[in-house]
Structures are given as structure tokens and as C-alpha cells.
Amino acid sequence: MPRTRQEFEQFERQFFAPYAQFSSDTRGRKYNEPPPIWRTQYQRDRDRVIHSRAFRRLEYKTQVFLNGTGDHLRTRLTHTIEVAAISRNLASALQLNTDLAETIALAHDLGHSPFGHKGETVLARLMKGHGGFEHNLHSLRIVEELEEKYPGFSGLNLSWEVREGLAKHQTAFDHPDKRKGFDAKNSSLEAQIANLADEITYYSHDLDDGLDSGLLSESHLAKNVRVWAMAARAVKKEHGQLPDECRRYFTIRTIIDLQIRDVVENSERLIQSARVQSADDVRRFPKPLIQYSSERRRLNLELRNYLYKNLYYNPVVHQPNLRAVKLLGQLFDYYLKHPKEIGDSSKRRLKKIGLHRAVCDYLAGMTDRYVMLEYERIFGKSFEL
């Protein structure tokens, strides 16, 4: 016999910690729908995110390097999948709801603009005085309004707990405003996990791309970044001399393992000390309970500063990104003067949300390569990577 939703929910009650967010305790959806038969509510949400158009567009959006500059360099989509995998592992180790943590992770970057955080900065500047732009809140708008897949409602009609995770998503790179309806002191532990998994993935895999591109070197890392030096020593001690690609992979794998171990052990200690007994106890608690240890936080800050200095602001990465985001500004001005060209979906909402927001929505939904193609179509100039 197929396993029913009720059996999944019973499994959660039996094997998850009491402070996990149980599927059967969801606050529900904005629009009532019949419950799924063979999936939990959060499994349904996960599937809706994966099948969204915004999720597919992530394949052609910048992570660090402009999309198209290297076959093995990460895109916003591969980053998202890696965040989801780490989120699921952390949630499993802490006996939390793996489906909810994974779903929040899969949706957390749906609202990212073309050209990464630099593109977001440009849109925020262009929208100053018109409601601003912030990719976390735009992710929420996508799942609540902008996706158009279902009869009877706009958006994906996701569960309250997934939308809470998007409204409160915040890492070292992300600073969302408070959103009405999600004003508890904290979010679920599953949402907190997605936050930290995003950070773990950024640090470790940007190292990988930096080394793959030749902008970073293992020898320089060993002298300047303790996280790298400790992992490299551990790999050499256990495996001896390895081929370059294998050595680099195992060193980064070790860094991720050390990060995850630290988060699991430290978070378990904080959760037990807090004596929370339910998911809402977690929301009422004054501090996040999914955290690095203080020593690991110091080590990560050292790594973060190193990546900013040697990778994110390296001219090879920084200058093409700066040139690329200028295209957004030029296209923004053009579409303000030619609103008939902003696409059917944005044009339908124009009277409701205003011209600036409609243009911003249209640009934010573009992939890197579509921005370049539109620029070439409109201005007759090609963009060189």
C-alpha cells in the first residue's frame, strides 16, 4: 500500500525532536487547498519550488563569476542545490524536519537578480524612493505573487512556515527588512539551518571556484587562512600525497565536515540549554539556536575577509561584474520610457504596482545572458565577458 500523508506525519511525531516544526502543525496556506494524499505539506512545497520558472532561471544567474565564464564554476542554481543538501543533513542530525529545511533552502535565492549581489545593489539604488529592492523579500514576492501556475490564486501558495523562512532569511550577505506577519523574535530551527547552510556553502564552494579559476592558490591560503591550513594538514596526515584535484576536493570536503560538526554540536548544546519544547518556543526565544561556536565564528570571519580581498574584489571577478551591472541601469531607464516592452506578466500588474516596480520585477527575473541579449537588441552593442 502507498504511504499516506498521515503516515509521514506519524513518522515525524515518532522520530523528530519535540521542538521540530511538524508538518501537521502548519499554519496553513493563504488559499485553502485539499491536503496532499501521499506527501506532507512541506514535500508539496518543495515540489512546487522545484517546478517553478524562477527556480529554473537560477541556472543562468551569477554566483561569483559571471554566468558563462567557466563550465565548472558554480551558478546560483548549483549553489542552491548545495545549500539544500547541507540543510537536509544538518536537520537530520538534529532530528528536525528535513523537508522544511530543504524547501526553504531551495527557495531562498529565487528572488536573486542577474549578476549576483552587485546586480541587487544596482536595483536597490534604482528603486530608492519606490520601495527599494532586496532579494530575500523578492523571493517572497515570487512565491506569493509573481509565479503564475495555478488556477484560483497567484504565486505558489506555499505553507506559512516556508514563507516565514524566506521572510527571515539572513546571513552575512543578506539583510532583509521585517515583514508583517512574520514578526516573532526568531524563525523555526529549520529556517535557521537554511541560513547557516547558505553561509557554509558560500565560504567553502567559493574557495573551490577561486582555486579552479586560478585566482586563489593553496600555498597562499595555507599561510593566511587557518581554516584551510587545518583542513590541509588533516588531509595530508590521513591520505599522504594526493593528485591536485583530489587533494583540493578533500580539503574543501574536510572544511565542510568541520563546519557541520561544529554547528551540530554547538546548536544541540544551545537547544538543550534553552529548554524549548516546541517550534513556537523556538520562535519566542530571544536568540537564534542554530549557531557556530565562538571559535568557529572567528575562523569564518577570517576566511570571509580573505575571500573579499582576494576573490570577490579581485579585478578578474570585480571588473566584469561592474561592467555587467551597468547594463541593468541602462535597461531600467529604457523600460521606464518603453513600458510596452517589459513582458506580459509585468504589464498586467503595472497599474496595480506602478511602473518602477513592474520594470524592477521584469529585470530581476532576467538571467545574466538574457540581460546581455536584451542590451544587444536594444542598443546594438554586444557585451564581452
Which among 187, 98, 99, 94 has a CA at the least distance from the CA of 140? 187
How many CA atoms lie less than 13 Å away from 58 in the CB half-sphere?
24
pLDDT at 182 over 90: no
Q: What is the pLDDT of residues 242-266, one digit of tens each?
A: 998 899 999 999 999 999 999 999 9
Q: What is the pLDDT of residues 92-133, one digit of tens each?
A: 999 999 999 999 999 999 998 998 888 899 999 999 999 999
Q: What is the DSSP string of 225-264?
A: -HHHHHHHHHHHHHH-S--HHHHHHHHHHHHHHHHHHHHH
The pLDDT value given to residue 179: 56
The pLDDT value given to residue 188: 96
The pLDDT value given to residue 40: 97
**Grid coordinates in use for 77?**
542554481
The pLDDT value given to residue 116: 82
Residue 378: pLDDT band with limits 50, 70, 90: very high
Phi, psi of 148 (to 5 degrees): -130, 80
The pLDDT value given to residue 33: 94
Q: What is the pLDDT of residues 133-152, one digit of tens each?
A: 998 899 999 999 999 989 98
Q: What average pLDDT does the segment 62-73 reach?
A: 61
Q: Which has more pLDDT, 63 or 104?
A: 104
| Helix/strand number for the chain, H first, E second | 18, 0
**Grid coordinates in use for 99?**
523537508
Ramachandran class of 297: left when φ > 0, alpha when ψ lies in -120 to 50, beta otherwise = alpha
Ramachandran class of 114: left when φ > 0, alpha when ψ lies in -120 to 50, beta otherwise = beta
Rounded CA-CA distance 38/32 in Å is 18
Most confident of 293-307, 314-328, 337-351: 293-307
State whether CATH 1.10.3210.10 applies to domain 5-379: yes
Rounded CA-CA distance 327/119 in Å is 10
pLDDT at 172 over 50: no
Contact yes or no for 378/331 (Cβ under 8 A): yes
**Grid coordinates in use for 366?**
532576467
pLDDT over 90 for what percent of the chain?
Answer: 71
pLDDT at 69 over 60: no
* DSSP percent split of the chain into helix, strand, coil, nearest 5: 65, 0, 35
Q: Which has more pLDDT, 23 or 320?
A: 23
How many CA atoms lie less than 13 Å away from 358 in the CB half-sphere?
21
**Average pLDDT over the chain, rounded to whole?**
90
* Cα 350–Cα 115–Cα 343 angle in degrees, nearest 5: 25
* Cα 178–Cα 180–Cα 184 angle in degrees, nearest 5: 70
Query: Which residues does 269 contact at the CB level (< 8 Å), separation at least 6?
Result: none
Residue 175: pLDDT band with limits 50, 70, 90: very low
The pLDDT value given to residue 118: 85
The pLDDT value given to residue 346: 87
Contact yes or no for 126/360 (Cβ under 8 A): yes
3-class state of residue 75 by DSSP = strand
Most confident of 167-181, 301-315, 318-332: 301-315
Residue 173: pLDDT band with limits 50, 70, 90: very low
Domain ranges of the chain: 5-379
Residue 60: pLDDT band with limits 50, 70, 90: confident
* Cα 11–Cα 15–Cα 20 angle in degrees, nearest 5: 100
